[in-house]
Amino acid sequence: MNKILPVDKLEIGMEVVAVDKSWLETNILFHRFRVRSFDDIQRLRDNGIKNVTILIKDPIHDKTEKQAPLSVDDDRDIPKLRAMEVLPLPTLREWNALHDKTIAVLSKSFDDIRMGSALDVTPLRQQVIETLEMLVKDPRKNSFLVTLSEIDDESYVHSTNTMILSMGLAAQSGVPKEDIPKWGMAALLHDIGKALVPLEILKKPGRLDPQEWDTMKRHPKFGHSILSKSKDDVVRGICTTVAMEHHERKGGGGYPYGLDLPDLDPVTRSLMVLDIYEALTAGRVYRSPLSPAKTLSYLLEKELHRLDPRAIANLVQMVGIYPVGSFVELMDGRIAMVSAYENPDTNSGAVDLLVLYSAPQKTLAEPLAITLPTIDRTCVRQTFHPRELGLSPADVARYLELTPGDHAH
Ligand SMILES: [Fe+2]
């Protein structure tokens, strides 16, 4: 049974299932959660929420107001054990091969530009088409790919990952199928202007000085000048536009021209979000990596005013809060990797997890496969980027291969 309650009457332990504002009007990631602290209640107030709907499990005794904070005894959090299945996942290897090949092709394109040659679009388009074919074949969400690359050359890996996410997002947003490759090409080439930024600036470890930063900020214009010379209509059109616009921000706070959101192409408005999401979740050498859940919270809390909220909403819908390949600490302290969803196209329903640690820093001798009826904030204490747990991309790939990957039971 549900009951509407003013925020001021909320208590710790109550389970909120809805709030009186739409998802886009708040910077709260979850509108369904168990109240765990007064901070949670304050956050609702800060977002202008006056009433919430709470779930009453036992309407006869209506104990909700005295409900204890969530504990490991909560039925929904006791996972059912099931036998470990070891099935190879060929598509993961295929993804890896395609990913590496795309990075290599893009790297050659950058080299060609640096040598003063023209951009050869054909091999890039080939990679985009092959990636789209894989996306169509593979119903799983693809965000786990960002954890897969061992190659640490930021620009190429970043653009390749962004291309995959961009086509996923295009499909999610109802873009006609024939237009989806354009989204992929635009993402793959959005940073091509960096080919004309001197390598000592691109590869400089640590902070750029103001002069170097000025040079770096010219890469959208460099990209425009490279791509607008192409004979290919798509490259000369949308790819040039996106390369030029992708550092603009809502309200005119970006560069190079200080354009506002309505002036920007929809492809750019989505790419701006993916650009940040990929950079934060990929966790490269000199940045602290963030889990998908933390990245989505960051986007909502810190970047919402600079980006297109619809594009963020589409991203959240596409990757989900706990995508396959992400790491969660359950309420009982165990740490597990999310390995499959019952409904892989919506990341919903029962979820398979691979428990790797019985508690922080306590590795299990053998990973243990479990299934939860569902996953949300009521059963996840916190999330981790694999690197925070000392896991390499190869480790994550190995654990993904240990799991069936089709669906939870
Ligand atoms: Fe850029």
Distance (angstroms) between ligand 1 centre and the Cα of 282 equals 16
Distance (angstroms) between ligand 1 centre and the Cα of 130 equals 24
Distance (angstroms) between ligand 1 centre and the Cα of 24 equals 26
Distance (angstroms) between ligand 1 centre and the Cα of 217 equals 8
* 3-state SS, residue 351: strand
**Would you list the DSSP string of 105-159?**
HHHHHHHHHHTTPPP-HHHHHHHHHHHHHHHHH--S-SGGGGGT-----HHHHHH
Residue 36: phi and psi, rounded to 5, are -110, -15
* Residue among 177, 154, 156, 157 nearest 167 (CA): 177
Distance (angstroms) between ligand 1 centre and the Cα of 129 equals 23
Question: Would you state the structure tokens that stand for residue 311, as one six-digit string?
Answer: 């594009």
Domain ranges of the chain: 2-69, 90-319, 327-401
Distance (angstroms) between ligand 1 centre and the Cα of 141 equals 25
Secondary structure percentages of the chain, helix, strand, coil, to 5: 50, 15, 35
Distance (angstroms) between ligand 1 centre and the Cα of 189 equals 10
Distance (angstroms) between ligand 1 centre and the Cα of 79 equals 43
* Residue among 409, 383, 389 nearest 322 (CA): 383
Cis peptide before 256 (omega within 30 of 0): yes
Distance (angstroms) between ligand 1 centre and the Cα of 268 equals 11
Per-residue pLDDT of the chain (409 residues; tens, 9 = 90+): 788 899 999 988 888 878 887 655 666 656 677 787 888 888 889 888 999 988 887 655 454 444 333 333 333 332 332 223 333 344 677 888 888 899 999 999 999 999 999 999 999 999 999 988 888 777 665 555 655 555 556 788 889 999 999 998 898 788 888 899 999 999 999 999 999 999 899 888 888 999 999 999 999 999 999 999 999 999 999 999 999 999 999 999 999 999 999 999 999 999 999 999 988 887 665 567 788 899 999 999 889 999 999 999 988 888 888 888 889 999 999 999 998 888 877 778 899 999 999 887 788 888 888 999 999 888 999 999 888 888 887 788 788 877 654 444 4
Distance (angstroms) between ligand 1 centre and the Cα of 220 equals 7
Distance (angstroms) between ligand 1 centre and the Cα of 245 equals 9
CATH architecture of 90-319: Orthogonal Bundle (1.10)
